[in-house]
């Protein structure tokens, strides 16, 4: 069913108690709902990500997008804020985890919250979703083509992210991974490496790799959009969150 | 993929952004996802003035061939200019 919903720009307490902006979309019925922290991609806290939050609300989840670049440029357009954050070195992993924790706390406190929280992220957000699920106590996590969960980023550049596969033993919840077979970062080989790490730690996970799709296949406003993979991927998300957040 | 590649250097000059001319103090160059250009990856240049919590920006996204041609044109223009006129920088 399609839930009636409302969407608002809110303030939440993030890492170090900093007040940051967020976009909250939630069903307006009197039922109990799970919460989803939607982690925006590197291009920023943009309209595409807010559409994703509204999609979750329409499907019965309270979804909150913390603005990870709020500190760098409050009130700036999403791409300007992203550029400022990029020039200053990007979002540190600890700060990301703190902001996701703050978003989870906010969601758990909502009227009608059932107390279950998941994360979902795309691209850089996919890595961050995995990271958050290894550092926080969550109920489900979705990694959409997150690069550098395994593997090494190019050397010598100021904006660096470190692989986080070494945290796999701390994964706190079931993990859904959605990948494109034509993607190079992460490649099918990278996905296989992550699979081995999760199996070694006896973690619950499900991965799907879609033929004919590369990186960013969920992005409806980019040339990378792939209809079949995106539709199939969304169905996997509903099944997964339905099992763990409902 | 997000390449995460970024070079940010101090620069001196002016740029015209959304609200008019401003002093440019940094430039970021990176080959990564564009926001507007219809490609999966472009050579992106941000001409910036970064404050503590502010940003002014002129942004450009170019396909790789265009970016190389622009780089060559920039260097050629500098080389062709009379030496006495390009003594700064």
DSSP string computed for chain A: -PPPEEEEEEEEE-GGG-EEEEEEEEE-SSS-EEEEEEE--TT-S-HHHHHHHHHHHHTT-EEEEE-TTTTTSTTS-HHHHHHHHHHTT---HHHHHHHHHHHHHHHHTSTTEEEEEEEEEETHHHHHHHHHHHHS--SEEEEES-TTSSS-PPTT-SS-----GGGGGG--S-EEEEEETT-STT-HHHHHHHHHHHHHTT--EEEEEETT--TTTT-TTSTT--HHHHHHHHHHHHHHHHHHT-
CA atoms of A209 and A191, how far apart (whole Å): 9
pTM of the model: 0.93
- Upstream peptide bond of A186 is cis (omega within 30 degrees of 0): yes
CA A84 to chain centre: 21
User: pLDDT tens digits for A13-62?
Assistant: 999 999 999 999 999 999 999 999 999 998 889 999 999 999 999 999 99
- Contact partners, residue A165, CB within 8 Å, separation at least 6: A149, A150, A193, A194, A197
Integer CA distances (angstroms), A178 to A103, B32, B39, in order: 23, 21, 22
Assigned token pair, A202: 């006896």
Average pLDDT, chain A: 94
Match 């859904």 to its residue by tokens.
A176
B1 in A contact zone (CB under 8 Å): yes
CA A126 to chain centre: 5
Chain A environment of B8 (Cβ under 8 Å): 86-87, 158
- CA dihedral angle for residue A152, residue A157, residue A161, residue A166, rounded to 10 degrees: 40
With cut-offs at 50, 70 and 90, classify the pLDDT of residue A2.
confident
Helix (H, G, I), strand (E, B) or coil at B83: helix
What are the two backbone dihedrals, phi and then psi, of residue A240, each rounded to the nearest 5 degrees? -65, -50
Nearest CA to CA, how far is B80 from chain A (Å)?
31
Angle between helices A93-108 and A124-135 in degrees, nearest 10: 70
Domain positions in chain A: 5-244
Residue B89 has a pLDDT of 53
CA atoms of B62 and A15, how far apart (whole Å): 36
Mean pLDDT over A166-172 rounds to 96
CA-closest candidate to residue A89, choices B16, B25, B41, B7: B7
Is the CB of residue A193 less than 8 Å from the CB of residue A184?
no
Residue B4 has a pLDDT of 74
pLDDT at B88 over 80: no
Q: How many residues does chain A have?
A: 246
B33 in A contact zone (CB under 8 Å): yes
Assigned token pair, A12: 């939440």
DSSP lists the bridge partners of residue A208 as: A178
Match 């030496």 to its residue by tokens.
B83
Q: Do A90 and B4 touch (CB under 8 A)?
A: yes
Q: Do B57 and A123 touch (CB under 8 A)?
A: no
Residue A153 has a pLDDT of 64
Residue A157 has a pLDDT of 52
CA atoms of A225 and B14, how far apart (whole Å): 37
Chain A environment of B33 (Cβ under 8 Å): 42-43, 123, 216, 222
Chain B environment of A82 (Cβ under 8 Å): 35
**A and B: number of Cβ contacts within 8 A:** 92
Architecture of A5-244 per CATH? 3-Layer(aba) Sandwich (3.40)
Q: Do B2 and A42 touch (CB under 8 A)?
A: yes
With cut-offs at 50, 70 and 90, classify the pLDDT of residue A119.
very high
Best of A45, A70, A80 to mutate (most B CBs within 10 Å, chain B): A80
Helix (H, G, I), strand (E, B) or coil at B41: coil
Q: What is the CA radius of gyration of chain A?
A: 17
pLDDT at A160 over 80: no
């Amino acid at each position: 069913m399609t839930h009636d919903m409302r969407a608002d720009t809110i303030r939440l307490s993030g890492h170090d108690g900093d007040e940051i902006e967020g976009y909250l979309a939630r069903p307006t019925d009197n039922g109990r709902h799970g919460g989803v922290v939607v982690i925006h991609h590197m291009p920023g806290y943009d309209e595409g990500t807010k559409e994703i939050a509204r999609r979750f609300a329409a499907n019965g989840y309270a979804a909150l997008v913390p603005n990870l670049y709020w500190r760098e440029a409050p009130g700036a357009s999403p791409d300007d804020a992203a550029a400022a954050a990029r020039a200053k070195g990007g979002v540190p992993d600890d700060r990301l985890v703190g902001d996701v924790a703050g978003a989870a706390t906010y969601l758990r406190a909502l009227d009608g919250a059932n107390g279950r929280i998941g994360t979902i992220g795309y691209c850089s957000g996919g890595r961050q979703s995995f990271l958050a699920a290894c550092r926080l106590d969550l109920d489900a996590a979705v990694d959409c083509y997150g690069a550098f969960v395994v593997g090494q980023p190019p050397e010598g550049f100021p904006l660096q992210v470190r692989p986080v596969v070494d945290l796999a033993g701390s994964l706190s919840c079931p993990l859904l991974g959605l990948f494109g077979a034509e993607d190079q970062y992460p490649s099918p080989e990278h996905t296989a490496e992550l699979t081995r790490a999760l199996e070694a730690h006896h973690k619950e996970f499900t991965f799907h790799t879609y033929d004919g799709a590369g990186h960013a296949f969920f992005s409806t406003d980019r040339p990378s959009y792939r209809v079949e993979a995106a539709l199939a991927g969304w169905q996997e998300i509903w099944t997964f969150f339905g099992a763990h957040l409902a | 993929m997000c390449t995460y590649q970024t070079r940010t250097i101090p620069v001196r000059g002016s740029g015209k952004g959304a609200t008019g001319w401003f002093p440019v103090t940094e430039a970021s160059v990176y080959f990564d996802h564009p926001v507007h250009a219809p490609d999966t990856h472009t050579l992106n240049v941000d001409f910036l003035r970064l404050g503590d919590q502010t940003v002014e920006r002129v942004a450009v996204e170019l396909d790789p061939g265009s970016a190389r041609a622009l780089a060559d044109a920039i260097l050629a223009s500098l080389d062709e200019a009379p030496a006495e006129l390009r003594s700064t920088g």
